[in-house]
Amino acid sequence: MSWWAILVLAAGAYGFKATGLVVLGGRDLPAPVSRCLQLLPAALLSALIAVQTLSTGQHLVIDARAAGVGAAIVAVWRKAPFPVVIVVGAAVTAIVRAIA
């Protein structure tokens, strides 16, 4: 890909963002749309975590990563501090990889 193509794509992305701000800048969105937009970041983050955890290339794989994410979910559910959640997830992933 050439630098010109990258610059054109970057300008287009910036243009879309600026257009949204100019067109909708002073307006309030309808309540259903606003509620939907508030939930969107959590849904996208969850989807990215699921894809990165349960796939390798084009294949569905359940391996040590799934165990680590599961342990991290349990740590979050038990209200552990964020650094503890990270360490628990990484440790469980490493232990499962060492065993398997």
> Using an 8 Å Cβ cutoff, are 89 and 72 in contact?
yes
Task: Give tens-digit pLDDT for 31-59.
Answer: 998 899 899 999 999 999 999 999 988 88
Q: How confident is the model at residue 26 (pLDDT cuts 50, 70, 90)?
A: confident
- Is the whole-model pTM more than 0.85? no
Q: Which of 68, 65, 62, 69 lies closest to 46, judged by CA?
A: 69
Per cent of the chain over pLDDT 90 is 66
